[in-house]
């Protein structure tokens, strides 16, 4: 099926600097993207979250998610305050990078967010991330099953799935299906020259990971949400790389609709 396509604001970070939030939105709108995921962390160009409700009106973009990173025991109160107050977004993507007090404390923090999500009509998607406490889709699904709460789900990031070498793509997506709230992808190849010394992060038409197979697997589980484009420290002409990603993903959608049988191959 044809998916909406959004970009993560991390696409605009490079070793030479970070594009202003206004510029990010203008570029994505000019290219024809449907939305953007924004990050709230130190160094983010979006220092004023009150701008989020205006993004749709000013740029025609949906704020697909607000991405937050938990350092349990260090920034719990900051994240809770953001979730209590942020407007203009319905999905919080939450990565758990570090913990002072271990798994029980992480679970207590997540539990403390659920009444807030209920009251404010938000959803919280746990985000598997390489080199983080919650690194794999398996870990994230276990937390979702533990709480079994309608406001708590999971994101699937194909880059981090591939880089962690979790494997079994269709099996992992099948397990995530009851909880899946968001999908993100990029191009990637396993290489010590890549991010974290594990895998490269590239435009979706590059690398060894098969994004056509990913979209086919998502179609098989009936995923109808947006597909996010991930980038980090790409450099060069960001606009052209965003353009290539958008054209590639839309062409893959078109091919899958026209040639469904092309996706009928077993996934390892």
Segment (H or E) for 109:
helix 103-120
- pLDDT tens readout for residues 186-221: 999 999 988 889 999 999 999 999 999 999 999 999
**What does each of the 268 residues of the chain score in pLDDT, given as a tens digit?**
689 999 999 999 888 888 999 999 999 999 999 999 999 987 677 778 999 999 999 999 999 999 999 999 999 999 999 999 999 999 999 999 999 999 999 999 999 999 999 999 999 999 999 999 999 999 999 999 999 999 999 999 999 999 999 999 999 999 999 999 999 999 999 999 888 899 999 999 999 999 999 999 999 999 999 999 998 877 789 999 999 999 999 999 999 999 988 888 777 6
Distance of alpha carbon 154 from the chain centroid: 10
Angle 31-34-38 (CA atoms, 0-180°, nearest 5)? 100
Burial zone of 180 (CB within 10 Å; 0-12 exposed, 13-18 middle, 19+ buried): buried
Give the separation between CA 182 and CA 180, rounded to whole angstroms: 6
Retrieve residue 77's tokens.
């109160």
- H-run or E-run covering 249: helix 238-258
Is 89 in contact with 49 (CB distance < 8 Å)?
A: no
Residue 176 backbone class (left: φ over 0; alpha: ψ -120 to 50; beta: rest): alpha
Separation of alpha carbons 188 and 206, rounded Å: 7
Residue ranges covered by each domain of the chain: 5-263
Distance CA(123)–CA(152), nearest Å, equals 6
For 212, residues 6+ apart whose C-beta sits below 8 A from its C-beta are 252, 255, 256, 262, 263
Quick one: 165 exposed, middle or buried, by C-beta within 10 A (0-12, 13-18, 19+)? exposed
* Residue linked to tokens 């996706």: 263
pTM of the predicted protein model: 0.95
- Residue range 5-263 in CATH 3.30.360.10: no
Residue matched to tokens 């077993």: 266
């Amino acid at each position: 099926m044809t998916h909406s396509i959004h970009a993560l604001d991390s696409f605009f970070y490079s070793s030479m600097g970070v594009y202003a939030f206004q510029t990010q939105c203008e570029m994505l709108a000019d290219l024809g993207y449907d939305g953007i995921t924004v990050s709230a962390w130190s160094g983010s160009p979006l220092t004023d979250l009150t701008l989020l409700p205006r993004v749709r009106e000013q740029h025609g973009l949906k704020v697909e998610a607000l991405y937050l990173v938990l350092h349990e025991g260090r920034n719990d109160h900051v994240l809770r305050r953001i979730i209590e107050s942020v407007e203009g977004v319905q999905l919080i993507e939450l990565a758990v990078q570090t913990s002072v007090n271990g798994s029980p404390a992480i679970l207590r923090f997540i539990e403390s967010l659920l009444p807030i999500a209920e009251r404010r009509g938000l959803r919280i998607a746990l985000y598997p991330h390489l080199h983080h406490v919650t690194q794999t889709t398996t870990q994230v699904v276990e937390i979702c099953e533990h709480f079994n709460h309608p406001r708590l789900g999971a994101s699937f990031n194909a880059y981090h799935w591939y880089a962690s070498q979790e494997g079994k793509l269709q099996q992992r997506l099948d397990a995530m299906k009851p909880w899946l709230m968001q999908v993100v992808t990029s191009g990637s190849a396993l290489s010590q020259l890549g991010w974290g010394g594990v895998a490269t992060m590239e435009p979706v038409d590059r690398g060894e990971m098969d994004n056509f197979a990913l979209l086919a697997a998502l179609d098989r589980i009936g995923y109808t949400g947006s597909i996010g484009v991930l980038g980090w420290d790409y450099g060069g002409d960001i606009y052209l790389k965003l353009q290539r990603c958008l054209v590639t993903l839309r062409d893959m959608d078109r091919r899958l609709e026209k040639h469904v049988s092309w996706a009928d191959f077993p996934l390892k």
